[in-house]
Chain A
């Protein structure tokens, strides 16, 4: 256990170190090559962009977070529910699954202009965009997890005349949990991209919107800061999912 803790500490220090090294390299590169500020700012200039009140950082962070988390949670909820319905009603799966596969082939970005026509622009449509982009992987992995149960294990339960519900609650669902999390991890990355694409296509608030605004004035430090903040929101979301997985899924069962 002690060596385990030391190992964890070492792992985290190394991770922190590589991040710091990247920032140092960034600083060195800009200073050494005398890169103009509007092409690439120093880390310091990037942080100083936060001091400009006009950019309403807090509000924009909030809006983008709501879009990402909103779209993501909706996708997790609807995605898992859809997969459960697939597993309970075989005919529904046969009808709906091929349709979902076709619909998933639509480039979601191409739907952006349509979504704006239908829903105007704002937080709602951007949540829809994040949802649309990360819904499918969750359905797919959950459905697969629910299917992958050892037939012999089912025989063991059936020999004791176990009910369908018992099979589902005691075997199928916990067995699917690692798969659900693997889908949720992929979806977390996609949700961030979805929300930002939504903001690029049409919105009046959010970090993506801010990037388009400051692009006009060539305030590159602010653009850098916006990208960093978007990344951080993504890291927080991913971290929450990882923490939940650590809590709910026994180590050996996890899918990497």
Chain B
């Protein structure tokens, strides 16, 4: 497989608020191969979001190294990142297609081609026909689909997702999990998926990284040896249960 697409080695991050040091991440080390969907799971305050922001180049880290990209898969930090948050954060005054186009506009990509691509992406995420609607006309789940299309519009190599389905109801969430796997299989992107849902982490991930809080540290990381494409009945497999129990144990819930 050669070099990994992402290599984190001993990454450490502290915040200083009112003179007090707060350890957000201690010693995070893991590799991600290109095209993987890696789940980052842990309780609130375990540094998941911080880790994403370090990967996005939004926050500097204190020590350790973060390397993204390989000679065969070069990574341009100014344009190879797509982000999806817990809230869809669509611009209320823009139609869906114009929302999807936002990153393309910021990067100054050719408008006509981007617009055609936006249509294709909306079809890919199951929003064909909703191009000219306004966000308020769509349900939460559909808005989040649009946010995923927006994260893909500039064809980035790395998609960072911060609890993207955390605000959805349980059924929509299950559905969106399947949708994400389908989109991932078609778009062939490397995805880092932050969640505090343990079954979600196992179900989606090719690999799971477990972070624990107080003090924030990386407790475990392991590959998920379940076949692709994943199906809902895999959740009842014995192996699925073993993975889930392994995470529960690490989080002190068993």
Sample (9) of A-B pairs whose CB atoms are under 8 Å apart: A150-B89, A155-B58, A155-B83, A156-B85, A156-B102, A159-B57, A160-B106, A162-B106, A252-B134
CA distance A155 to B162 in the complex (A): 12
- Choice from B79, B85, B93 contacting A253 with Cβ under 8 Å: B93
- List B residues at the A interface (Cβ < 8 Å): 53, 56-58, 78-79, 81, 83, 85, 87, 89, 91-93, 102-103, 105-107, 134-136, 154, 162
The 7 closest A-B pairs by CB, nearest first: A252-B136, A253-B92, A162-B106, A161-B78, A250-B93, A152-B85, A159-B56
Whether a CB of chain B sits under 8 angstroms from the CB of A174 is yes
Residues of B within 8 A of A253 (CB): 92-93
Chain B nearest CB, measured from A126 CB (Å): 36
B134 with A155: CB separation less than 8 A? no
| A170 and B102 contacting across the interface, CB-CB below 8 Å | yes
A158 interface hit (Cβ, 8 Å): yes
Give the distance to chain B from A94, nearest Cβ to Cβ, in Å.
Answer: 20
**Which A-chain residue is minimally distant from B92 (CB atoms)?**
A253
Most buried by A among B58, B87, B91, B135: B91
Cβ A156 vs Cβ B136 within 8 A: no
Q: Are B87 and A170 in contact (CB under 8 A)?
A: no
Which residues of chain B are within 8 angstroms of A150 by Cβ–Cβ distance?
87, 89
Q: How long is the Cα–Cα vector from A250 to B134 in the complex, in angstroms?
A: 8
Partner of B91, one of A152, A159, A174, A249: A174
Listed residue (A156, A161, A177) with the most chain B CB atoms within 10 angstroms of its CB: A156
Whether B79 pairs with A160 at a CB distance below 8 angstroms is yes
Please, which residues of chain A bring their CB within 8 A of the CB of B134?
A: 250-252
A156, B83: Cβ atoms closer than 8 Å: yes
- Residue A171, interface by CB 8 Å: yes
Q: Is the interface of B mostly helix, strand, loop or mixed?
A: loop
The number of inter-chain residue pairs (CB within 8 angstroms) is: 60
Give A248 Cβ to nearest chain B Cβ, in Å: 9
- Known contacts A155-B53, A155-B83, A162-B106; 17 further A-B pairs (Cβ under 8 A): A152-B87, A152-B162, A156-B83, A156-B85, A156-B102, A156-B103, A159-B56, A160-B81, A161-B78, A161-B79, A170-B106, A171-B91, A175-B91, A249-B93, A250-B134, A252-B92, A253-B93
Contact of A159 among B83, B93, B102, B105 (CB under 8 A): B83
A: interface residue count bin:
20 to 34
Report the separation of the CA atoms of residues A150 and B91 in the bound assembly, to the nearest whole angstrom: 10
Q: In the bound complex, how far is the Cα of B94 from the Cα of A252, in angstroms?
A: 11
A153 beta carbon closer than 8 Å to chain B: yes
* B87 and A160 contact, CB distance less than 8 A: no
B92 touches A159 (CB 8 A): no
CA distance A158 to B87 in the complex (A): 18
Distance of B24 from chain A, by nearest CB (Å): 16
A27 to B105, CA, bound (A): 62
Give Cα distance in the complex from A158 to B160, angstroms. 14
With contact pairs A250-B92, A253-B93 given, residues A159 and B87 touching in the complex (Cβ less than 8 Å): no
Q: How far is the CA of A160 from the CA of B57 in the complex (A)?
A: 10
**Given A156, A159, A174, A177, which contacts B89 in the complex, CB threshold below 8 Å?**
A156
In the complex the two chains form, what is the Cα distance from A116 to B216 in whole Å? 68
Residues of A close to B91: CB separation below 8 A: 170-171, 174-175
A249 contacts across to B, CB distance below 8 A: 93
**Distance of A177 Cα from B53 Cα, bound (Å):** 30
Distance in Å from the Cβ of B249 to the closest Cβ of chain A?
32
**Bound CA span A176–B29, Å:** 42
**Interfacial chain A residues near B162, Cβ < 8 Å:** 152
Q: Does A166 contact B (CB under 8 A)?
A: yes
Bound complex: CA A155 to CA B58 (Å): 7
Q: How far is the CA of A249 from the CA of B94 in the complex (A)?
A: 10
A105–B78 alpha-carbon span in the complex (Å): 48
B150 to A, closest residue via Cβ? A156
* Residues from 111 to 165 in A contacting B, C-beta threshold 8 Å: 150, 152-153, 155-162
Q: A155-B58, A155-B83, A160-B154 are in contact. Are A252 and B89 (CB under 8 A)?
A: no
Expressed in whole angstroms, the minimum distance between the Cβ of A146 and any Cβ of chain B is: 15
Residue of B nearest to A156 (CB): B83
Q: Which residues of A contact B154 (CB under 8 A)?
A: 160
Which chain B residues lie closer than 8 Å to A251 at the CB level?
Answer: 134, 136
* B57 pairs with A152, CB closer than 8 A: no
Report the bound CA distance from A161 to B79 in whole Å: 8
Least distance between B71 CB and chain A CB atoms (Å): 23
A155-B53, A155-B83, A252-B134 given; A160·B103 CB < 8 A: yes
Residues of A within 8 A of B135 (CB): 252
Taking the closest CB of chain A, its distance from the CB of B152, in whole angstroms, is: 13
